[in-house]
Structure 1
Amino acid sequence: MPANPKYLSSNWQRFAKISAGFLGGYFITITSHMALSYWVNHVNLIITSSFTSFILWVILMIIAFLAKNGWKIWGIYLILSLLFLIIIYFSKIHHPIPF
């Protein structure tokens, strides 16, 4: 028995959801951990981010596939990534990390 056509999405929606899940989720994961590294001990964060980044990335992939519109998810993921990038920019100015 074939699938009901009303539940099938277009190829562009499928592409948007897959790319948002993989790339958008990765961008948010990396930028959030980078932003957090300026506010907590960055050595400890690097150690724990190997576990937390994978968990966050998987959660963001699942959210992308559960959404009805892939382009809205892309927009949300890009806005969140830009927000974290702004936090990184201002954190570099106010909390420089000595290496």
Structure 2
Amino acid sequence: MWVWVMVIYGANLRVLQVAAVARRPEVQVVLDAANTKPRIMNRGDIYGVTTGFKATSQCGTQQGVEFQLELIRFLNAGVIGKANSLHAQTTRAAMVVRTNMLMQ
């Protein structure tokens, strides 16, 4: 089995690349370490990732995974419950687009 590694830089992400990531689990996404990874990894709180939004943005957490799950449930207003989840392709596409945006 082959593995395709796609480096994202925070710019120039194409629709075909997002589709490849979404449809093929063997595509591995890595961050451009030279420019963007240090900026992302060295931050404390990241708005909307480890904090809430607007009035709750001053509240941070060290429980990032649990916070993100609850935030997704909240923003979807119950569309995604604890037993349900998004399709893997939708999740992979959303994650690569969001990561690329955060790297900008």
TM-score normalised to structure 1 length: 0.29
- Which one scores higher on RCO, CA 8 angstroms, separation ≥ 6? 1
Looking at secondary structure, tell me which structure has more strand per residue: 2
Looking at secondary structure, tell me which structure has more helix per residue: 1
Q: Which has the larger radius of gyration?
A: 1
